[in-house]
Chains A and B, each alone.
Chain A
């Protein structure tokens, strides 16, 4: 209960700071937020757009969360997402029957994401390299690799600003408005990881290692295997975020500046923190950021740039770092807190 409250206070804080910045800049924050929420939730089509934008965030949020459950700070979703997108699209270079084509593209994208996560595990287990450093370096390498492929190898000969579009048989069929059947990937992965982490032995081991690696080792759990599993599953999930963004959303291609992939990977960190690293909480966190992203498009028209959303995101993450600050707000008397600690 307190966890939910902390997330809500952090969200409110982010929204408030965003309003303050807009007001300082002489814009009317409430008009902007009104535009944001009507733009994101005002009617069925808007809601479909919001859901569609939330779907990849579910997957990159899961990447961070499954890592965090193993005690890892995996911020490699960005690179894995980019590679997933470009590998999925590259599958359009060969032809297969409709449907099967989509399945193969997803499989290969997931494989690419797992492969990109593998060095993180090897460097950590073999050489003690902290995953924060290795994932960021791999993110940058993936960024330039993706840019190379998009610009030099996959670009559309007629429309210069993007790659070729994914063939119809490789796309997710449309459902309503911007929403396509790609929602099954996000929802399915979230439910699978929920089951895996809480109802499967291997997932239990992942959580045990995250809670206390020493105790887990003493109990006969292989710590390296748990970390490897968490990183590889995260890699697959992040790669699918990129894949569904390309195969399940207009323009069914990658723009030459990678703008339609944006920072989906980094955004997953805030999504996971808001969702308390729980697959079901992440569905809620991703929806919130879907609202922000869809609404931001409307705000952009009113002279508030999209970067505003990143400020809100940053504030939320910082607020999630210090839950004690929220407790101070509630002015819980000190003696009671002490007792709780003793009980724990």
Chain B
């Protein structure tokens, strides 16, 4: 029982990437674009954030690099999905493969190692006085902001309109393509932040498989949230808790009570499956989700 409580501080960190990536994806899906390349965005932005932090010795610039990387990949995915009317799922898988390859190649080329450790100088410092990562505070704020943006602004209404019925939105003069691009870039930027957090604030390393499926757990969280950013925050904590439980049980000797390490590592994935299977009621997704829009 004590163990379950000890996991709590780790869970606060584990919540960050799963929530941020999911909240961004929620925004993009409202506009009608699915991005299953979150895992690739996390991998690449974690890597480039680390590279910039290492080169400039400024973790803040590193975070900005992560954000920018995510936004640019989002823009690329947006161009493929919106302008070229490509297959969004295939593009997402391509981004995931590219992320794996580019980071594996880049880490080797730059540091001659598959998963180099980052020196403390390049980490993001904790919030003075509170002893928590700034991301732990930033994440709920961004979830709230995105929720407000989506449901309480004219912009949010338009974003949801182009996801639900792009033709009607187009008829009343809403710029469908531009809004969709914006939404995917926004989603990519949040995933980029999550990537920067992974390398600079939490795991202090980079590798081709650094996110270890968290990009896909974030997608599960999107389903769980029924496209509500605030529920994605709750889901992020739930999925993050299981992630942290696996990490904590595996890293602290004797906690697991003789259960092999490899079984402990299955916990987050098994729990994700279970939560998604048990989530009550099906989410209703925007009507035009995944569909390119072509003016008649």
A residues lining the B interface (CB < 8 Å): 21, 25, 73, 75, 119, 123, 127-130, 132-134, 136-141, 144-145, 147-148, 151-152, 266, 269-270, 273, 305, 307-325, 328
- Residue contact A145 to B91, C-beta cutoff 8 Å: no
- Residue contact B84 to A133, C-beta cutoff 8 Å: no
**CA A310 – CA B107 in complex, angstroms?**
14
Report whether over half of chain B's contact residues are helix, strand or loop; otherwise say mixed.
helix
User: Can you add 10 more A-B contacts, CB < 8 Å, to A151-B262, A273-B90, A311-B102?
Assistant: A25-B109, A127-B276, A133-B216, A144-B263, A148-B262, A307-B208, A314-B100, A316-B94, A320-B94, A321-B91
B residues lining the A interface (CB < 8 Å): 36, 40, 80, 84-91, 93-105, 108-109, 208, 212-213, 216-217, 219-220, 223, 260, 262-263, 265-266, 269-270, 272-273, 276-277, 282
- Residue contact B213 to A307, C-beta cutoff 8 Å: no
User: Of B36, B102, B262, which is within 8 A of A144 by CB?
Assistant: B262
Q: A307-B108, A310-B100 are in contact. Are A144 and B91 (CB under 8 A)?
A: no
**CA A319 – CA B98 in complex, angstroms?**
12
Q: A145-B266, A307-B208 are in contact. Are A313 and B86 (CB under 8 A)?
A: no
Residue of B nearest to A64 (CB): B93
- Residue contact A140 to B212, C-beta cutoff 8 Å: yes
- Residue contact A138 to B100, C-beta cutoff 8 Å: no
Report whether over half of chain A's contact residues are helix, strand or loop; otherwise say mixed.
helix
User: Of B100, B213, B270, which is within 8 A of A136 by CB?
Assistant: B213
- Residue contact A314 to B94, C-beta cutoff 8 Å: yes
- Residue contact A140 to B269, C-beta cutoff 8 Å: yes
- Residue contact B94 to A137, C-beta cutoff 8 Å: no
- Residue contact A310 to B104, C-beta cutoff 8 Å: yes
**CA A28 – CA B91 in complex, angstroms?**
29
- Residue contact B101 to A311, C-beta cutoff 8 Å: yes
- Could you list some 30 contacts between A and B, CB below 8 A? A73-B89, A123-B273, A134-B276, A137-B213, A137-B273, A138-B269, A138-B273, A140-B212, A140-B266, A145-B262, A147-B262, A152-B260, A152-B262, A307-B104, A308-B101, A310-B104, A310-B105, A311-B105, A313-B97, A314-B95, A314-B100, A314-B101, A314-B102, A318-B91, A320-B90, A320-B94, A321-B91, A322-B91, A325-B80, A325-B84
- Residue contact B86 to A270, C-beta cutoff 8 Å: no
**CA A73 – CA B87 in complex, angstroms?**
12
Residue of B nearest to A123 (CB): B277
Residue of A nearest to B270 (CB): A141
Q: Which of A25, A319, A322, A323 gathers the greatest number of chain B CB atoms within 10 Å? A: A322
- B-side contacts of A309, CB under 8 Å: 101
User: Of B85, B89, B216, B217, which is within 8 A of A324 by CB?
Assistant: B85
- B-side contacts of A273, CB under 8 Å: 90
- A-side contacts of B213, CB under 8 Å: 136-137, 139-140
**CA A309 – CA B96 in complex, angstroms?**
14
User: Of B93, B208, B266, which is within 8 A of A269 by CB?
Assistant: B93
Q: A140-B269, A148-B262 are in contact. Are A311 and B86 (CB under 8 A)?
A: no
Give A33 Cβ to nearest chain B Cβ, in Å. 16
- Residue contact B262 to A310, C-beta cutoff 8 Å: no
Residue of A nearest to B98 (CB): A314
Q: A305-B108, A307-B105 are in contact. Are A148 and B98 (CB under 8 A)?
A: no
- A-side contacts of B109, CB under 8 Å: 25, 305
- A-side contacts of B104, CB under 8 Å: 305, 307, 310
- A-side contacts of B273, CB under 8 Å: 119, 123, 129, 134, 137-138
- Residue contact A308 to B105, C-beta cutoff 8 Å: yes
Give A301 Cβ to nearest chain B Cβ, in Å. 15
User: Of B85, B95, B208, B219, which is within 8 A of A318 by CB?
Assistant: B95
- Residue contact A317 to B102, C-beta cutoff 8 Å: no
- Residue contact A318 to B101, C-beta cutoff 8 Å: no
Q: A311-B98, A311-B105 are in contact. Are A317 and B220 (CB under 8 A)?
A: no
Q: Which of B88, B93, B98, B260 gathers the greatest number of chain A CB atoms within 10 Å? A: B93
**CA A217 – CA B36 in complex, angstroms?**
28
User: Of B98, B99, B208, which is within 8 A of A315 by CB?
Assistant: B98
The 7 A-B residue pairs with the shortest CB-CB distance in the complex, in nearest-first order: A310-B101, A314-B98, A322-B86, A307-B104, A318-B94, A317-B94, A148-B262
